[in-house]
């Protein structure tokens, strides 16, 4: 069994996403891979808020789960 935690790196390319997430990582994905090849990913999307010069983005976040067997 294996476990993978995926987050976005806060660098120049991703900085705008961190800015609208108030400095926090915009998402976290925790994936577990079973011995038989099945996977389960728990996806956490953080709330995002952005407003500038007539443009506005507002997202309240969300929690999702993705399950896949060894065949996809």
What's the Cα-to-Cα distance from 24 to each of 3, 15, 72, rounded to whole Å? 22, 10, 31
**Cα 50 to Cα 31, 32, 41, 64, distances in angstroms:** 29, 33, 28, 23
pLDDT at 9 exceeding the cut of 80: yes
Full domain range(s) for residue 38: 2-68
Average of pLDDT values for 8-21? 93
User: What is the predicted pLDDT for the residue at 66?
Assistant: 97
| The pLDDT value given to residue 57 | 87
Structure-token pair, residue 16: 């705008």
What pLDDT does 25 receive? 93
Structural domains of the chain, count? 1
Distance of CA 30 to the CA centre of its chain: 9
Which among 71, 1, 68, 69 is positioned nearest to 33, based on CA atoms? Answer: 1
Q: What is the pLDDT of residues 25-69, one digit of tens each?
A: 999 999 999 999 999 999 999 999 889 899 998 999 999 999 999
Q: For residue 72, name the pLDDT band (cuts at 50, 70, 90).
A: confident
């Amino acid at each position: 069994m294996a476990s993978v935690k995926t987050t976005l790196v806060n660098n120049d390319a991703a900085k705008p996403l961190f800015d609208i997430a108030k400095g926090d990582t915009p998402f976290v994905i925790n994936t577990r891979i079973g011995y038989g090849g099945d996977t389960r990913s728990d996806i956490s999307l953080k709330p995002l808020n952005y407003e500038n010069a007539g443009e506005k983005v507002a997202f309240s976040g969300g929690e999702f789960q993705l399950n896949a067997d060894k065949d996809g």
